[in-house]
Amino acid sequence: MNWWLGIILVIASYVLGSVAFGYVVARAVAGIDIRNYGSGNVGATNTWRTLGWKAGLIAFAGDFAKGAVAAWLGKLWGGPAWGVALGIAAVLGHTYPVFLQFKGGKAVATGGGVLFALNPSITLLALGIWGAILYISGYVSLASLIAAACTPFLLLMFEPSWAVRIFGIIGASIVIWRHRSNIQRLRTGTENRIGRSGKRRD
């Protein structure tokens, strides 16, 4: 095992994760800085709320793909543990991007891409939970939080690799931590439901 190459791949995955597709799409489509609109977040949800579902879908696909590519390359090169290492690096790049003063997204799409590369079946289960909660509540943030919280338990039941199980815990922790402002708004009843924008919030 070439550890130097592994370190280079981790750094490359972080840089790949730092490419915020919501920011890129908003610049390309509307010539705006997405950080100045809606919630101020560079993720797919704010892109969709600000520029419509097509732009949001492109941003989601890009953020999802960078996580999936990083984890897939790591898994291909060194097995599940390296898939997890590169995947976490991509997630950290998305949440703390070097290109945007370390102020990035909330890791849902990128973390989902990593999970898909590591265990597609669990990803589909988590997506089903996300969709059900979104349909019932209308809150994207609540759906993301519950899907993230369920993922470690799903992996514990159905995933044999301890490395992938650990990713479930780390990934869910990052998603929940990044949603702490959303949690506060959910508690106070001021969180936006799907299809509603409202004023910018940090």
Rounded to an integer, the average pLDDT of 58-70 is 98
Q: Which residues make Cβ contacts (< 8 Å) with residue 58, sequence separation at least 6?
A: 21, 25
Taking the C-alpha atoms of residue 58 and residue 159, their distance in angstroms, rounded to an integer, is 30
pTM score, whole prediction: 0.92
Domain regions of the chain by residue span: 3-188
Estimate to the nearest angstrom the gap between the alpha carbon of 88 and the chain centroid.
11
Give the model's pLDDT for residue 198: 41
Give the model's pLDDT for residue 202: 38
Give the model's pLDDT for residue 193: 87
Give the model's pLDDT for residue 43: 92
What tens digit of pLDDT does each residue of 96-137 get? Answer: 999 999 999 999 999 999 999 999 999 999 999 999 999 999
Rounded to an integer, the average pLDDT of 64-69 is 98
Estimate to the nearest angstrom the gap between the alpha carbon of 183 and the chain centroid.
17
Give the model's pLDDT for residue 195: 56
What count of residues does the chain have? 202
